[in-house]
Structure 1
């Protein structure tokens, strides 16, 4: 039996074209999601019906292209993270090659925090009222990056796996929101995250 063909946005566009309908650009759909989340007071409540209406497509088109609401949000997440992914491979970047592994971990965590603070609507929509966050592509990828760097920094394999989850847990949107509601500023949260990560990694405070 031949493997089942996985439906993609390209497949969906081809199907629509065969029916005589204009292709639906992926960027148009992601742009509609972006605008809806930014305008919504409760991003977690934005539905696939809302997104389909804003993008001017049928809800079935969204499901065929992205699989689920979480899959659609993960696609937007991936698009937003692409410049950051490139920084990981750029010489001279604080998170790029040539920087000691432990320092890269700390810098990555700080940049992830900045990313979350700069994209509150997207983060809230994906991390609250969603499922399987630990299985989300962006989480799996970032966890793998941190795990590998922790091993390079001297952590044993299983310890690196757990420590990567532990450090990422400090970036959960609900925790950040609770801290901000209690009076912590973005600078307070950033300082605490960095200093805690340094202690976990054994980096001297004055390093």
Structure 2
């Protein structure tokens, strides 16, 4: 169990990070600035998150927690019980919706990440997508196809579409790719 002061500091640090990202962009978000804005010592930020990448990962993890829960035990089609193709479409719709609401945070995480393919979020999403692809189409190289589909979310084009209000186009394109793959 986390101590009350540690939990309070964590929330303050994450909130300060989000505010700095929204007003200044990643290039102006340093551990010093975050500590100052959160009202904690710089050592507290480093101790808790390690580095700026760890801090950005924590901000994103806060945002994806509800999605992860829905994937595991939520209602269909996002959660268990729907056919694999429907779950895949619902997953990518949910990821696009999440990214749309959090474009600045997601873009900052993308920029700060040095080893995205080994992040817990990516590994979890890859396992989910690969499992659904394998169920829907056993002859498909589910592992590689999952990487390709998820890779489409990690692009300058995706950030551009989100920032210009074309998230519906992105979601429709992903659904179309999934339908074509699973025919």
Confirm or deny a common fold (TM above 0.5).
yes
CA pair 25-137 structure 1, distance change in 2 beyond 3 A: same
Contact between 2:17 and 2:34, CA under 8 Å: does it hold in 1?
yes
Q: Distance in 1 between matches of 2:105 and 2:161?
A: 19
Give the TM-score taking structure 2 as reference length.
0.86
Aligned counterpart in structure 1 of residue 170 of structure 2, from 186, 189, 194 = 189
Structure 2, unaligned runs of 5 or more: none
Instruction: Please identify runs of 4+ aligned residues in structure 1 that moved more than 6 A.
Output: none
Q: Which structure has the highest helix share of the two?
A: 2
Structure 1, unaligned runs of 5 or more: 1-8, 15-21, 203-207
Structure 1 position 33 matched with structure 2 position 10: no
- 1:91-106 matches, cutoff 5 A: 92-106=75-89
Give the TM-score taking structure 1 as reference length.
0.77
Higher CA-based Rg: 1
- Secondary structure of 2:153 counterpart: coil
Contact between 1:45 and 1:125, CA under 8 Å: does it hold in 2?
no
RMSD: 2.5
Residue deviations 1:9-65 (CA, integer Å, cap 9, x gap): 95xx69xxxxxxx6553212111112111222x235422122111112222211211
- 1:57-206 matches, cutoff 5 A: 57-90=40-73, 92-155=75-138, 159-179=141-161, 185-202=166-183
